[in-house]
């Protein structure tokens, strides 16, 4: 499934001029995506931090220049610098090495501490075609399992795919686009599946072009999966629409995005002189992409200005739009979009239905649901009016809570809660009062609040004798940070059912004298009141009550006097403590079960009578 990790987009219209007023100087005014640590794996997992850092993962410095291998770049695959790439980049991921005898002249080394302005991400169909026309080096795999380095490029007229060098003349080392039947991603042909090749390169770095009436295959291996995605997307686009569609459709598709971001610029241009200051431009883009570093945005503006031989601290609309598209387009989302949109640069309602149904696995998808998604996440007025979800709207949707891996239906209890209480796993908090580990942690009242808010339905309370006949709660060596038992009960009474209405079990571990046990019983009855469940089990029923019947009730789990005891107090065996102590001194478990290590404690009737359904006892085995 496709999906996005850990970030949640706030629904809205993202600086839409149709519904916004001019933002104040220096303000971001671009609520769109807010960070939210969350989980995930089944739906499109795209970490918002990756977007904020703008794909610098996997980059390296070669010959004084920074190279980013995380996405294909227009211009980075040109023949003029192919030798530089082979020398400076080390071993390519797929083991593609350029034939030293046929290297092009090495370009003079330069020193730069930033990416070059010509290194642009693939963020449109036009950019994809430009990358293919520049060309790049790939391995051509033959039927005898031998691989040869070739330089592949698309003809300017977009009719032919050519490769060089080759022993064949240039008229034979080419493939007509209209002869292509299919473009397959991965090792999907017998040649690529052969035993001699299967382990030499990853599946995502391979693709095959099926062509001709005999369905022959041209099998290729690229240096990175993003290069493969660019070629596969571009070739499929040409096969589906032909070269003329690029000229006709591209300006229309671009305008959907550029007109919106251009209108955002116009909102910020209060003076209406076609320029805004660098700080203002940086803050707007940062507002549209929370988490993106200002330094990276400023650097991109300066690179674009340098490329256009512009100077000063003001940004015009063209540079603003270009910087936004460069910084805010995630190639993996763009490739996903064109895959489901039949290579268009937007998703209409039917495309979105296919994506939500097939990729997201949502059942019962309707066109109305998809129109609602467009209205909720598409930032441009034009897109919402026409029912189109652009790359920015698609990104907003994937980063929203609607695409979280967590099933929203599970925010509510979806299981059958009418079974006996003993049929369920119970979310429990052991040593609930501790902020840290058992030996060094201190007790704090906030630990109980946290446990209850996290949905724990069983909480342990270890009670000891305190001063002035007031029992206290602490664990292990945290004597210095004692909590009054009554204060703990106050907190439990307040937060017991904040996150769940199902029964809460209080596991009392009592180390108090009879006098303070009676005080404990008084506090339990006074503070918890009617919430405390004290009814004796019905002897005619064979099972415990269900969580449904026990909603809003607090159960006490502790020691209980045996039925044979009729006195106001009596002895009970502390089996669990005896077992723990015997293990510490090295006693055998068998000896413990025979009585060694067991400890007798006195228990008052008042506290024993509060224990109804849950009685503490030793686990003899699993």
In this predicted structure, what is the pLDDT of residue 110?
Answer: 32
Inter-axis angle of helices 485-495 and 445-453, to 10 degrees? 20
Say which residue, 494 or 432, is predicted with more confidence. Answer: 494
pLDDT confidence tier of residue 60, bands split at 50, 70 and 90: very low
Q: Which domains, ranges and CATH numbers included, belong to the chain?
A: 421-566+605-615 (3.20.20.190)
**What CA–CA distance (Å, rounded) separates 83 from 61?**
15
User: Is the pLDDT at 537 greater than 50, yes or no?
Assistant: yes
Strand, helix or coil at 315? strand
User: Is the pLDDT at 359 greater than 60, yes or no?
Assistant: yes
Percentage of the chain lying above the pLDDT 90 cut = 27
In this predicted structure, what is the pLDDT of residue 529?
Answer: 93
Question: Can you read off the two tokens belonging to residue 206?
Answer: 């391979």
Average pLDDT over residues 144-169: 84
User: Is the pLDDT at 581 greater than 50, yes or no?
Assistant: no
How far is CA 207 from each of CA 176, 223, 295, 319, rounded to the nearest angstrom?
17, 12, 38, 36
Average pLDDT over residues 152-179: 84
In this predicted structure, what is the pLDDT of residue 24?
Answer: 38
Strand, helix or coil at 473? strand
Say which residue, 275 or 338, is predicted with more confidence. Answer: 275
pLDDT tens readout for residues 4-38: 433 333 333 334 444 333 333 333 333 333 333 33
How far is CA 14 from each of CA 10, 159, 286, 572, rounded to the nearest angstrom?
9, 40, 12, 67
In this predicted structure, what is the pLDDT of residue 480?
Answer: 58
pLDDT confidence tier of residue 352, bands split at 50, 70 and 90: very high
Which range among 229-233, 262-266, 472-476 shows the weakest confidence by mean pLDDT?
472-476
**What CA–CA distance (Å, rounded) separates 357 from 359?**
6
**Residue 612 DSSP symbol:** -
Which secondary-structure segment (H or E) carries 303? Answer: helix 294-307
In this predicted structure, what is the pLDDT of residue 130?
Answer: 84
Which range among 83-97, 417-431, 591-605 shows the weakest confidence by mean pLDDT?
83-97
pLDDT tens readout for residues 100-120: 334 444 433 333 333 333 445
Of 35, 165, 8, 32, which is closest to residue 98 (Cα–Cα)? 165
User: Is the pLDDT at 64 greater than 80, yes or no?
Assistant: no
pLDDT confidence tier of residue 242, bands split at 50, 70 and 90: low
pLDDT confidence tier of residue 244, bands split at 50, 70 and 90: very low
User: Is the pLDDT at 586 greater than 80, yes or no?
Assistant: no
User: What's the chain's average pLDDT?
Assistant: 74
In this predicted structure, what is the pLDDT of residue 122?
Answer: 66
In this predicted structure, what is the pLDDT of residue 15?
Answer: 41
**pTM listed for this prediction:** 0.47
pLDDT confidence tier of residue 617, bands split at 50, 70 and 90: low
**What CA–CA distance (Å, rounded) separates 158 from 341?**
21
Average pLDDT over residues 472-490: 80
Query: Which of 17-20's residues contact partners 24+ apart within 8 Å by CB, and which partners?
Result: 17/263, 17/264, 17/266, 17/267, 17/381, 18/381, 20/267
* Cβ-contact 485, 474 below 8 angstroms: no
pLDDT tens readout for residues 367-376: 999 999 999 9
Question: Can you read off the two tokens belonging to residue 494?
Answer: 């307040």
Task: Give the burial class of 403: count Cβ atoms within 10 A of its Cβ; 0-12 exposed, 13-18 middle, 19 or more buried.
Answer: buried
């Amino acid at each position: 499934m496709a999906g996005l990790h850990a970030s949640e987009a706030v629904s809205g219209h993202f600086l839409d001029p149709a519904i916004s007023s001019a933002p104040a100087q220096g303000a971001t005014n671009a609520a769109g995506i807010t960070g939210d640590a969350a989980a995930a794996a089944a739906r499109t997992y795209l970490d918002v931090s990756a977007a904020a850092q703008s794909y610098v993962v996997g980059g390296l410095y070669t010959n004084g220049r920074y190279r980013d291998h995380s996405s294909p770049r227009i211009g980075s695959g040109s023949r003029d610098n192919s030798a530089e790439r082979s020398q400076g980049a080390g071993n390519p991921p797929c083991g593609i090495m350029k034939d030293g005898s046929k290297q092009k002249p090495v370009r003079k080394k330069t020193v730069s501490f930033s990416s070059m302005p010509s290194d642009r991400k693939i963020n449109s169909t036009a950019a994809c075609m430009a990358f293919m026309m520049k060309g790049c080096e790939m391995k051509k795999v033959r039927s005898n399992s031998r691989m040869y380095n070739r330089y592949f490029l698309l003809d300017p007229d977009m009719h032919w795919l050519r490769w060089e060098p080759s022993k064949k003349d240039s008229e034979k080392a080419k493939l007509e686009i209209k002869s292509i039947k299919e473009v397959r991603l991965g090792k999907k042909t017998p040649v690529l599946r052969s035993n001699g090749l299967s382990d030499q390169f990853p599946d995502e770095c391979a693709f095959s072009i099926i062509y001709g009436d005999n369905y022959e295959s041209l099998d290729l291996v690229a240096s990175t999966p993003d290069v493969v995605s660019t070629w596969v997307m571009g070739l499929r686009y040409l096969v589906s629409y032909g070269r003329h569609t690029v000229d006709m459709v591209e300006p229309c598709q671009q305008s959907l995005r550029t007109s919106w971001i251009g209108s955002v610029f116009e909102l910020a241009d209060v003076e209406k002189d076609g320029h805004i200051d660098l700080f203002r431009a940086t803050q707007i883009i940062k507002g549209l992409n929370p988490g993106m570093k200002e330094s990276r945005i400023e650097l991109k503006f300066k690179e674009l200005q340098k490329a256009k031989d512009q100077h000063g601290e003001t940004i015009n609309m063209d540079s603003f739009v270009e910087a936004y598209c460069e910084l805010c387009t995630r190639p993996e989302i763009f490739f996903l979009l064109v895959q489901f949109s039949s290579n268009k640069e937007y998703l209409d309602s039917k495309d979105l239905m296919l994506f939500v149904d097939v990729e997201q696995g949502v059942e019962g998808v309707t066109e109305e649901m998809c129109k609602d998604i467009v209205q909720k996440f598409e930032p441009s007025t034009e897109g919402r009016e026409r029912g189109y979800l652009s790359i920015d709207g698609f990104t907003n949707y994937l980063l929203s809570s609607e695409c979280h891996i967590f099933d929203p239906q599970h925010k509510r209890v979806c299981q059958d809660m009418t079974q006996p209480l003993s049929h369920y796993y119970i979310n429990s908090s052991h040593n609930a009062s501790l902020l840290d580990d058992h030996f060094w942690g201190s007790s704090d009242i906030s630990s109980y609040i946290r446990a209850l808010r996290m949905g724990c339905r069983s909480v342990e309370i270890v009670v000891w004798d305190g001063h002035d006949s007031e029992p206290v709660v602490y664990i292990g060596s945290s004597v210095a940070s004692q909590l009054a038992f009554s204060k703990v009960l106050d907190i439990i009474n307040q937060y017991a059912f904040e996150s769940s209405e199902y029964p809460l079990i209080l596991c009392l571990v009592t180390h108090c004298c009879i006098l303070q046990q009676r005080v404990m019983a008084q506090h339990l009855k006074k503070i918890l009141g009617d919430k405390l469940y004290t009814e004796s089990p019905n002897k005619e029923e064979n099972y415990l009550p269900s969580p449904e019947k026990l909603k809003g009730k607090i159960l006490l789990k502790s020691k209980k006097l045996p039925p044979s005891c009729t006195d106001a107090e009596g002895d009970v065996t502390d089996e669990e403590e005896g077992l723990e102590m015997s293990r510490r001194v090295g006693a055998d478990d068998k000896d413990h079960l025979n009585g060694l290590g067991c400890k007798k404690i006195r228990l008052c009737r008042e506290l024993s009578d509060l224990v109804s359904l849950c009685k503490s006892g030793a686990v003899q085995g699993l």
